[in-house]
Structure 1
Amino acid sequence: MRRIEKIFQCLLKIWNKADYEYLLKVQGTTTAELAVKLGLARANVSADLNKLVRLGEILKIKTFPIKYVPVEVVSKQLKLKQLYYYEINNLNDLLNTDQVEKIKQGPTAQRKNSFFQNPLNEMIGYTGSLKKATSQAKAAIMYPPHGLHMMLVGPTGVGKTYFANKIFAYAQYKGIFSAETPFVSFNCADCYNNPQLLLSTLFGYVKGAFTGADKDQPGLVEQAAGGVLLLDEVHRLPPEGQEMLFYFIDNGTFKRLGESEKNRRANVLIICATTEDPNSTLLKTFLRRIPMTIEIPTLDERPLSEKIELAKFLFQHEADRINKDLNVKIDVFTALLLANNYGNVGELKSQIQLTCAQAFLNSIDSNQVEVGLHDLPEDLRQFWLENPARVRRSAHVSRYLDTKTVFYVGKKSQVLEKDNIYELIENKVHHLQRQGIAPEDIHQYIMTDIRLHIKHFFKQPLPKNKLSKFIDPKISNFVEKLKKIAEANLKVHLDQRFIYYLGMHIDAFFKRGNQTELLLKDEVEKIKKLHFAEYQVALIFQKEITATFSVKVPDIEVIYLTMLLSSIRTLSEKKQVGVLVVAHGNSTASSMVKVATDLLGKGNIAALDMPLTVSPGEIVRQMAIMVKKLDQERGILLLVDMGSLGMMNNRLEKMTGVKLRTIKNVTTTIVLDVLRKINYIDMDLNAIYSSVERDVAHLANNQLIVAKEAKIILSICMSGTGTAEKLKQIIKKIIQKIGATEVVQVKTVSVLKMNEIIPQLAEKFKIIAAVGTKRPSMSLPYISLEDLIAGNGEQRLISIISRQGDLPPVIEDRNVVVASMCEDVLKKHLIYLNPTIACKLLQNWLLQLQLQLGVDFSNSQQIKCIIHTAFALERCIRSQTLKYTERPSKKLLKSLPVIEATLNDVTAALKVKIPAGELYFIAECVLDD
């Protein structure tokens, strides 16, 4: 919850139960009282209270000291239908008829009753992919005196008309427009190449203006007077039509068709919408009259979490339409969201409607409609069946959804809560068996799902209540004992989350009773061998459960416990990228690996010798087996010598579900370099691949030899040197992060020569995006400097690059933009600390801190926290620490232990102790949003 919302809720809580007499006697709550109660700085509380007054949510009582009270409380207790002014001297003034009449002369503020019904904030992605668009829309609507005309840009189906309607609703919400204000929509394609029809439609006509004009007819401009005119497909307007409009925009006057003398006036806010690049399809003179351009992102550019929310919204809409609850399986979401045969929200909506229509037909006699894979349109079903990686990909969706989601009629969707993994495993096994997946592959898929299930659980903040509040206290105490047994036998440290997880699992086992099913019976012996140590501990657990609770624990439960222990254990172990060296000959690969391990020690590396007589099919089969053995969930680097081995990357990925990169022409030197980076530098898969490729090719940073079809990103600034060069370095790091150094390059461009240079570059390269301080005139995905640094520009750029080839998903979590900005500052000011190491440590700290606090920091907030904390660490080293003289707030004291605990890794690595005063300042910095 944002600070302003907390303040409003606190004020509402204070006054919700107040009666008539108490309200008139006390009048309200002071800023100081709220600041103390919430543990916030008085200045921040004061600023937010005044915002709430301007929003019409609270009344400001100008006593001494000034007091505040919620509008809805005053309206309810004083029985007022409408308030006309939100700053008064005394609440009793509202009871005085003469005084109320005087107050009515003040500024009106026709607003909705709830601060939490901002129409723009109701849109999915308003804090994510639509953050910049909503911010621009708010600025345009609020700009005095009558707002700014806007241009909405985006492909068909992204929701431009929907967004325009939300802008209009926001203006009503802010009191700029009333409930009676008109909103008129017009599709410019209807009058394409017919200027007379366009003129009469927009501005109206008088009787006799043309044949058939038997009466005066007002145009759309008159109909929209005082409100909004939406011009859809504005690029279809002919030049004459654009000239008519910009004359009206400039002067506010127009004539109906057939009028010669009378000038009419209208004040209209114009919102244009187009699927084309405005700079190439509209007159410059017209564009100058539309100062605000707002880009609506495509479905591809939106993160998976938003796509899922959009799909859930559309399913809920269908549930309400058919008046039946929908029970949608996770595989349906996966197929809908990962198929690439459509690209926008409108098409997603159509696919969901088709799916629900088929499901409705199949469940015509049931009260609840079951939506499964068999209900999908034919093309989506075919996609699912032909995609060997469908189960692996569904793991991404499972971060946000459970196996089923129920959409109740007239209610929000609800995920079916599961307090155990039995249903997860059973459903998955049955599904894999129906799909004909080989039995030897099912175990790998199930283990992956269990690890993801546990990882998701472990990422959640610990409940504030003790475990005994959720399960039988006897089980809670018993699990503490099991934790000690596991730690002693497996030589690992398990935190409180292990207790919560295993406690709820055992509690679920007891509730489940005898409803056990012999899953994976053919895999039991394999599990025992692969996870021998965990299996032995699970057997001890079995004996302990039986002895303590007098309950028979079946063997299959021992297997479940084995898999759980194995998954939990791997979470705490350091994992490495795997390396598989494959070369033709009887001992070529083995010899290279032996030299490397003799010199640098053992590592997650293996060799596969391929005699020339071995068939390609056998080579692939043996490579797949080795890849699975080496995989520690960080991917595998294939080092191959020649020929077809270098072209097996995609095939092996589909067979194994493991992320792979391939480097050809392997030598002993390359093997040595790779093993060194894995053992001593701990680089990730993409970083190792990029580093080795650069070394092997002997390429200079800016001297890449490119083919005509090479892809580039433009880095744009005024001179093409300073800012553009810095941007270039940041973009290159992002490209390197996702392993696209062979696919995409960066070129710097000066704004002054942009129109000359960009067409020349377009002849030699495929330009996939532009980043910088000015949008190019040609139609390109564009990311502003502001959005890259403070917004979601990095995610958008990754999305654009990832569509340029068969690239692996991003492994590294570090934010490239934050790292680059911070390192630049720290290199200039730090004397004792290594800026790069300090920055990396502090970025990791912020990741942990956000996880613990359950928040997401913006780029600017991360940069502020990293730089402040780095300077604090430097002061500690120099024994020049700051003293904290303020009285710490309750909120600060509550957050301090978490901040201090998450900083332990940083202070331990740097061998620095941070005193209490500096910790207080760091906490202030973290909490100050």
Structure 2
Amino acid sequence: MKRIDKIYNYIKQRSNKYTKDDLKSRKGIDAIEISEALKILRNNVNKELEELLSKGKIVRFNGNPEKYFDKNRLEEMLGTSINEISLNLEDVFNMMSSKKNNIDNDPFEYLIGAETTLKNQIEKAKESILHLPKSLHTLIIGETGVGKTLFANKMYEYGKYKGKFTDESPFIVLNCADYYNDPQLLLSQLFGHIKRSFAGADKDRVGALEKADGGILFLDEIHKLPPEGKEMLFYFMDKGKFNRFGETEGDRNANVLIIGSTNESKDSNLIKPFLERIQSNIFIPNFSDRDIDDKLKIIKGLLQNETLKINKPIKITAEAIKALIGITSFGNIAQLKSNIQVLCAKGFLNSINEDGVISINLSMMPSNIKEGLITINARQEENDRLTKLLPTEVLVYPNKNYVSLENDEKQLNLYKIISDEVIILKNEGMDSDEIKKFITADINVHVKCLYDKFKNDKYSKYNLYKIVDAKIIRFSEEIKKYAEKKLDREYNDRILYALSLHLAVLFNRINNIDYEETHENVLDMTLKAPKEYEIAKYVCKEVEKRFGVRMPEEEVLYITLILTSVEEKNKKGKIGILVMANGNSTASSMVEVALNLFDCNNIEAIDIPFDVKPREIINIAKEKVEKVDNGRGVILLVDMGSLVKFGKILSEETGVKIKALGMVSTPTVLEAVRQSEANEMNVDRLYDYLKSFKGYYSYGEENN
């Protein structure tokens, strides 16, 4: 037998006898042990160990001294494949300790912070579930993105673990914010309604409360309940009885544990009634208030989620981790998750043709995330602790036994989207560098826009309800269904957004389109689309009847245009839109709403810190202008008059026609995106139109 085979067999036999505890105490097999056991010179042992490492037979555990282990045995212990030859034992132990949750395990055990910053909250949650004779209704309080929904899910799982619930017990979720602008609809969603209780109620409906009988009803953003809804909910919590909306006789019974969540401050008047009536109140801390160990575990956990999608290990530098921690503020864990997804997508794209590790480092980060490193450096104590805790690089492996931080089982596979796009672009003859540039420009849109679309567009509709009167949206939904039936065609929700926003503008008495200039083009389209033209006439009659608004004759033509073009892609390219505003997230927040509402890729944001130099802003803006320009010019929307002058500078330095407009608002951004779809609209006309735009909401305000 060859010397190398003797050494490998020895390592293999010793590794097969190891348990998890053995690995923790002895940490593998070192060269001295092998040399003494096999009577082989130490130098020769080291030589053969390097050969075995290069062949992928064994792995090396970093330390002093370095130790070795059979790769197959370690993969068996971890339940996943390993692509690296050198590992940190701490990462291995973390992977081993992650077990799949089941009825035999306390689900809170796997929640990051269970023994640190969430210990008291978990104890209170357990007391609420186990309270006799009935579990206590609970209010979970915390800022956006801290993990309130995940915590509520853990309460549900703990109830099953302790026998309070069964596998058949429902866990029903209702986000009150989805309907907060329409109290009648919200009450119907929550309590159900009876036939003819309001216009459009053509049959009885079971509400979320009845569906949750025997389990938990999670009311997200519970503070959005209208006063009538609060009283009905409090009555149910006291008596266990309720009525459907419109029902006046007879109480219905249900056995439901109410868990509410809110991002309002405990001092807010909106949640004071809930604090007084709900016995158990649990406060979830912000990410910034979590223990440093928790922060690192959360980042590793979110990276672990991505490794499972990519099926590749991810390597991230200490500086990159510090930047992610430093930049995570208002958005908390949700913001951190979004940033990590963007970085992993970029790393995946960079290694699309390689089999190795996905790398994340500071140089690949966008400037807004890099700023987090400056923030951390300013927090000296936290920076010093992170420096001590973090190795130069952290390696995270895919582990199929890992308990995911994701709430939902369905996850958007961004990496498959990227892979498919690469194949398509290669087939079109595009080279690798061009492909990377092309797809990199889409990654942020995929993460922010497509991920929301994957969740049934509920966030998109929520944003629409915030700016357009609910009656207009409901009417537009009816028209969508009517048109689909008449045309035997299925529209996506873009027609809902287009029609709702168009009617909102019309009701606000804004001359939103130059009919004389577009009349001929639109009329030509009606000749090609007579069915859509007839539906448009019906729409105009219904608008006049329901809203008491006199419809101009040209509206028939314009609604025909919406019906025929809303599903078509703009062949001429869209006018580019660049939003610039002072502050850390002012511009990006407005653009995010647009991305959630529209399937658009012609808009970018620049958040401007107050201490940045003008030349730096211009350099960043030049890149953004070139990114959004499709040959039709760019509209620059800014928040302060002093930034308007950047339009002329950018136009001169890029050669792109740019029109700058001050006093930007979210409705202005949305209207700019919506109008940029029109092939007839050029950048000058869009600029003139936006100058006179007054918003969407006057109709709703007049009728409240």
TM-score clears 0.5: no
Relative contact order: is structure 1 or structure 2 higher (C-alpha 8 Å, sep ≥ 6)? 2
Question: TM-score, length-normalised on structure 2?
Answer: 0.40
User: Which of these two proteins has the greater Rg computed from alpha carbons?
Assistant: 1
Question: TM-score, length-normalised on structure 1?
Answer: 0.31
